[in-house]
Amino acid sequence: MYNKDLLKKTLADNAALTETALESWLSEAYSGDTVLAESMRYAVLGGGKRIRAFLAIEFCRLFGGKPEAALPYASAIEMVHAYSLVHDDMPCMDNDDMRRGKPSCHCAFGEANALLCGDTLLTQAFEVALLNPHVSDRSRVLAARTLAGGAGALGMTGGQYYDLSDECGTYDELVRLQSMKTGALIRTACLLGYYAACDTPKAEDEARIARYAEEIGFAFQIVDDLLDVRSDTATLGKPVGSDAKNGKKTILTFRTIEEAEKPAAECTADAIDAVSAYEGCEILTDLAEYLLTRTK
């Protein structure tokens, strides 16, 4: 059984650090004082679990780095994640009118501003990563390259494409889709945390980190799919049943609820095994267990 109280405190502490960093990166000095800047702050600040930022910070700590070295990378990842949600919610994609318990960005600011908001968050994320003052040039290059790959056609946006298309007809294709749409950015977060602490990475470490990320990423998505049918709008802060409404393929397209719970548990066990050899890994193994049992 994981240490729930310690994990809860660490999640809150890391989220607070990330929020402060994001407020700085999204201040008038970096983003201006227009409606566009307001929409960016609206989309990013004051909400979300900050799981990706948590992973960047904790992998940095695991390999001997300090949180401040990881925070610009964590902020960049949260910006990319927020941009993807802004675009996901738009009428041309998932057409959801609520996010994190408040109107989606396009409902609050209009579709054109939401489109520009997402575009700008993606662009600014790279600026933030490359301005990281606590790491070497080599680390910044590794981070920018990894962020681009995780967010691009073979990563998150590629997964979004498959999610919108009719090209996901089997369970194995769904696994590929989710490894791109959800898993790629989680993997990026973990690796960026590693690069914040180590600018001469080892292939074995990268492989273990990627395995951990891929396994918790798939488990995370399975739980998301289950919550979409088990939970309610008030708890999730976004509409439930939207996957079925939009004809989206989820694990429940191919498995029953009971059958879906098994791979989620298996993925969690594999993730824990991937990092268990590292001293101080307990917070990461606790996170894996928490993600499996979360209710929102």
Return the ∠ at Cα 223 (arms to 63 and 192), rounded to 5°: 25
* pLDDT one-digit tens code per residue, 7-35: 999 999 999 999 999 999 999 999 999 99
- Residue 280 pLDDT class (50, 70, 90 cuts): very high
Q: What pLDDT, on a 0 to 100 scale, did the predictor assign at position 296? A: 79
Domain chopping of the chain, boundaries: 4-293
User: Among all chains, which residue has been given the structure tokens 């709008």?
Assistant: 233
Q: Which CATH architecture has domain 4-293?
A: Orthogonal Bundle (1.10)
pLDDT one-digit tens code per residue, 146-156: 999 999 999 99
Looking at the chain, the whole-number percentage of residues with pLDDT higher than 70 is 94
**Which residues fall within 8 angstroms of residue 236, CB to CB, at 6 or more apart?**
227, 296
Cross-strand bridge partners of residue 103: 98
Q: Give pLDDT tens digits for 120-131.
A: 999 999 999 999
Output the pTM of the full model.
0.93
Calpha distance 27→25 (Å, rounded): 6
The beta strands (E) that lie in the chain are given as 98-99, 102-103
Amino acid at site 48:
G
Indicate whether 262 pLDDT > 70.
Answer: yes
171-200 pLDDT per residue, tens: 999 999 999 999 999 999 999 999 999 999
Q: Report the first-to-last Cα separation within the chain, whole angstroms.
A: 20
**Confidence grade of residue 230 (pLDDT, cut at 50, 70, 90):** confident
* Contact between residue 286 and residue 268 where contact means Cβ atoms under 8 Å apart: no
